[in-house]
Amino acid sequence: MLNSVPHEVVINGVYFSPLLLVFVISFAATLITVGVLNKLKLSQYIIHIPLGFLSIMTLYMILIDTFFIKF
């Protein structure tokens, strides 16, 4: 039985986990979100900035994994 969902991403013969792709996309989306929050001066309402960054990134990882890249 062949499964149509890939379990690895192949780049030049090197196998990568799909979670690595989700991590990179969510990190980039978090950087953009934090940039927008800083530009709108909404980041002053976040008490602990590194924890806020990690929580936004975790939300993006869950959303991307749930709706776009399923493995």
Reported pTM: 0.79
In a domain, 3, yes or no: no
In a domain, 2, yes or no: no
In a domain, 25, yes or no: yes
- For the record, the structure tokens of 33 come out as 């979100």
In a domain, 15, yes or no: yes
pLDDT for the residue numbered 1: 47
pLDDT tens-digit profile of 16-67?
888 888 899 999 999 999 999 999 999 999 999 999 999 999 999 999 888 8
In a domain, 42, yes or no: yes
In a domain, 4, yes or no: no
Sequential DSSP letters for the chain: ---SS-SSEEETTEEE-HHHHHHHHHHHHHHHHHHHHHHTT-GGG-SSHHHHHHHHHHHHHHHHHHHT---
In a domain, 37, yes or no: yes
Counting the structural domains of the chain, the total is 1
Nearest to 59 by CA among 29, 39, 38, 36: 29
Residue 5 pLDDT greater than 70, yes or no: no
Range of the domain at 44: 9-67
